[in-house]
Amino acid sequence: MESVIRGAAIYLVLLMALRLSGRRTVAQMTPFDLVLLLIIAETTQQALLGDDFSLINAALLIVVLFSLDIGLSYVKQWAPSLGRIIDGTPTVLISDGKPDLRAFARARISLEDVLTTARVEQGLERLDQIKSAVLEADGALSIIPQET
């Protein structure tokens, strides 16, 4: 029973930590992010298993974590407003070519990040070539070019 409680607690803590860290953390991993992820994985493993390294305990934890994930997906279907809280919603960063500085600050993303994505994905070189930019709920940036 202790393993089930540990698994559920760690799942919820990690879910909240990822949600609070921002969408760009999930979408763009730097070497620092990768090192942090490895440390978190090791710490999580120690917290989940405690002193019991048995195969049965590991299998139980896997079942608990997958069950929580499946259960959460059902909850999000049943209560879409809860899904928006858990997964987030898209954030419009640029609308009609005008940057929304408050949206940039809330999303903790820079105009340079958007311009880099526009350059790499769309071949756009200047802000005036961007009609809109949206930070999607999954952390991806969608760039819509101005019509020419």
* Residue 118 and residue 74 in one domain: no
Last-in-domain residue among 41, 67, 87: 87
> Residue with structure tokens 């760039």?
143
pTM score, whole prediction: 0.67
* Residue 10 and residue 81 in one domain: yes
Half-sphere CA count of 130, side-chain side, radius 13 A? 28
- Mean pLDDT (the chain) is 83
* Long-range pairs for 90-93: beta carbons < 8 A, 24 or more residues apart: 90/134, 90/135, 90/136, 90/137, 90/142, 91/134, 91/135, 92/132, 92/133, 92/134, 93/133, 93/134, 93/135, 93/141
Percentage of residues in the chain having pLDDT higher than 90: 34
Domain limits for position 24 = 2-87
pLDDT score of 146: 93
pLDDT score of 100: 97
* Residue 56 and residue 112 in one domain: no
pLDDT score of 37: 72
pLDDT in tens, 106-129: 988 899 999 999 999 999 999 999
